[in-house]
Amino acid sequence: MRERVPAPGMASTVEITSATVRRGDILHIGGRVCRVQDLFQLPHGAKQLLFDTGELLTIHVRTHLVAVRMTRRR
């Protein structure tokens, strides 16, 4: 007998910038899927993103990316 596991939430596609990026956002970069593990604030509004893989990506104020964000069910 299979046990049903409830879905943790719904996925939505959002446009992110250095001001709106969050931990847990999933980005598709260079054909790879990367999940943001941590964020570091840099001067002039830039942020450095640390992915689960250990890789870093720096985004600036004018950088616009598309991410998948999980939203919790209410």
Spell out the per-residue pLDDT of the chain, length 74, in tens: 454 444 566 888 999 999 999 999 999 988 899 999 999 999 999 999 999 999 999 999 999 999 998 876 66
Tell me the torsion sign for CA atoms 42, 28, 17, 74. Answer: negative
At residue 8, the pLDDT reads 62
The identity of residue 61, as a single letter, is V
Is the entire prediction scored with pTM above 0.95? no
At residue 10, the pLDDT reads 81
- What does the H/E/C string look like for 10-58? EEEEEEECCCCCCCCCEEEECCEEEEEEEEEECHHHCEEEEECCCCEEE
At residue 22, the pLDDT reads 93
The identity of residue 56, as a single letter, is L
Contact between 4 and 48 under an 8 Å Cβ cutoff? The reply is no
At residue 41, the pLDDT reads 96
